[in-house]
Amino acid sequence: MTSTATSIPFRANAAEALSNSPLRAAMRNATETFAKKRTEATASLPIEEWRTQASDTRLRVLENLGEYVDRFSANAVRAGAKVYRADNAESAVSIVGSILKDRAVQKVVKSKSMVTEEIHLNKYLETLGFKIVETDLGEYIIQIAGEGPSHIIVPAIHKDRKQVGRLFSEKLGCEYTEDPAALTKIAKKILRDEFLSAKAAISGANFAVADSGSLVIFTNEGNGRMCTTLPPLHIAVLSIEKMIPSLADLPKFMRLLPRSATGQMLTTYMSVITGTRKAGESTGAEELHIVLVDNGRTKIVAGEYREMLKCIRCGACLNACPVYRLVGGHAYGATYPGPMGIVLTTLLEGMEKAHPLLDATTLCGACGDVCPVKVPLPELLHKLREERVERGFTPYLERQGMVGFGFAAESPQLFSLGQTVARVFWPLAKKIPGLGALERMPIPAQITFGRSI
């Protein structure tokens, strides 16, 4: 049970990423910038107090998730929306497809949404003949490149401006430029035309307010607001754990999310959408359909990994993770990369598929230190690694090696003998195929640290 044909090939993906110098440079520059800006944005503030308050709110929601989902649904319907419950990905995409088909829609503009990536909504709708246009600039870039997002906040984090310039020249037929402002202007013109002609839009939501039935959307480009106000039909797709109790709880997340995600004091655009367009209003959707996606979350919230669902998708743990910063998001072979992605992918897709991702962590704890809602990522990762061993999802030689080490560690004489043998055979071990990493490891010491004291 050490591996299967369906397991994510993380080691191979990581090796390929590490050999890609432009990728490594782009990842290093972007993640270091975001980490630095987060530190600056949280300095001299009661950040630990805010984190505790936000964590308590999220945990309170999870402890009564069914009640909050019911309350949100009732209030959203009262405000004019239609609410659907989707138990799994297949149900969710089918609901969205049916809504669009019933209204003879041909094109859909779309705001960034990780849960729609999780359920592979775009691919499904395209098989039905719909044209899907991503309107977040990063999502638009990777859409025309035929790729998935490499970061949950900055989808095209792995691309530099030269790569984007070549991509635009090849796919859009424009003159090559690597000037970011010029590239943005090219995309802006194309997307404006798409907005103005679209009859339907799909968005996610950062939060869903139970007491008012409102959707809350944060964006920095304004595309989310364009999607939710211009087309007459708006479909919001969000996972059930996005609930917060009331609008009074929103400010604590308004302070934390942008600081943690991009180092901003506040997000550029925040939209609070409650129901459909009312009489006398000039903007807003005439129809609002809200699809609440479970896809395994009810099972998670009832188990020992419940706190993973506190996550507000800020991406801070990705920017702090030494593994993610080296290999980027595509190496994880899943919708969600980085520390939060390892845990969430394992819980949503199963240990059989995701167990190789549990090697993609140093257990340094940086992810837990920066999480704005105090998701105990290091503890969850450690617990999943224990479960992986218990269920036999580790290589045979690794398991036997650990058994041997445990046996030797109980005997000072055997441990000392092992050190001597290791020193003799270390040069030979480095030549064994697949153990090249030993070149970077120090030779075993002649005496232990304890004995040296």
**pLDDT digits (tens), the chain, 453 positions:** 444 448 999 999 999 999 999 999 999 999 999 999 999 999 989 999 999 999 999 999 999 999 999 999 999 999 999 999 999 999 999 999 999 999 999 999 999 999 999 999 999 999 999 999 999 999 999 999 999 999 999 999 999 999 999 999 999 999 999 999 999 999 999 999 999 999 999 999 999 999 999 999 999 999 999 999 999 999 999 999 999 999 999 999 999 999 999 999 999 999 999 999 998 888 889 999 999 999 999 999 999 999 999 999 999 999 999 999 999 999 999 999 999 999 999 999 999 999 999 999 999 999 999 999 999 999 999 999 999 999 998 876 677 777 777 777 787 888 788 777 777 776 766 666 655 555 666 666 666 655 555
DSSP string, 188-244: HHHHHHHHHH-SEEEE--SEEETTTTEEEEEESSSHHHHHHHSSSEEEEEEEGGGEE
In the DSSP assignment, the letter for residue 120 is T
| Torsional sign, CA 87, 92, 93, 94 | positive
List CB contacts of 196: < 8 A, sequence separation 6 or more. 230
pLDDT at site 233: 98
pLDDT at site 449: 58
From CA 277, how far away is CA 80, in angstroms rounded? Answer: 9
Largest CA distance in the chain: 86
Residue pair 203/132 in contact by the 8 Å Cβ criterion:
no
**How many C-beta neighbours within 10 Å does residue 156 have?**
24
Strands 269-273 and 214-219: antiparallel
Q: Rounded to the nearest 5°, which phi and psi values hold at 397?
A: -65, -35
From CA 444, how far away is CA 349, in angstroms rounded? Answer: 39
pLDDT at site 432: 65
| Torsional sign, CA 406, 407, 411, 417 | negative
φ/ψ bin of 280: left (φ > 0), alpha (ψ from -120 to 50), beta (otherwise): left
Strands 287-293 and 269-273: unpaired
Domains and CATH numbers, the chain: 10-40+315-390 (no CATH), 46-51+63-298 (3.40.50.10420), 397-452 (no CATH)
Residue pair 92/237 in contact by the 8 Å Cβ criterion:
yes
pTM of the model: 0.90
From CA 401, how far away is CA 417, in angstroms rounded? Answer: 16
From CA 266, how far away is CA 102, in angstroms rounded? Answer: 39
pLDDT at site 2: 43
pLDDT at site 416: 80
Strands 207-209 and 82-86: unpaired
From CA 27, how far away is CA 327, in angstroms rounded? Answer: 8
Question: Which residue in 267, 274, 183, 279 sits closest to 234, CA to CA?
Answer: 274
